[in-house]
């Protein structure tokens, strides 16, 4: 069952670290990969807690990290 609550800054930070780790399995380093802090400010039009990789949300970032981990070593 999907979790529909808004992610906290901690949740998004963990997500960014998961994605960074999964990218590293493919020898990819993205220095700009980080939490998009303005997405937590006030009433923001997008879902809060974006990752600065194309401003994807945590669900997308986690799916990308899972796919990267799955294909590592192929």
pLDDT tens, position by position, 43-66: 555 555 666 666 677 888 888 889
> Is 3 within the bounds of a domain?
no
Tokens 């600065």 identify what position?
52
pLDDT of residue 1: 43
Has residue 19 been placed in a domain?
yes
In a domain, 36, yes or no: yes
* Cα–Cα distance measured from residue 27 to residue 45, given in angstroms and rounded to the nearest whole number: 34
Q: What is the pLDDT of residue 13?
A: 87
> Does 40 reside within a domain?
yes
Work out the average pLDDT over 7-26: 87
Number of domains, the chain: 1
Residue 45's domain comprises 9-71
Summary mean pLDDT of the chain: 76
Kindly indicate the confidence band of residue 41, based on its pLDDT and cuts at 50, 70 and 90: low
Residue 2 lies in a domain: no
Please give the sequence-ordered ranges of beta strands (E in DSSP) within the chain, or none if there are none.
35-36, 50-51
């Amino acid at each position: 069952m999907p979790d529909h609550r808004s992610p906290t800054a901690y949740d998004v930070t963990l997500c960014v670290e998961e994605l960074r780790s999964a990218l590293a399995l493919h020898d990819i380093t993205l220095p700009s990969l980080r939490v998009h802090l303005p997405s937590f400010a006030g009433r923001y039009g997008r879902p809060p807690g974006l990752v600065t990789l194309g401003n994807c949300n945590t669900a997308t970032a986690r799916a990308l990290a899972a796919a990267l981990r799955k294909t590592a070593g192929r």
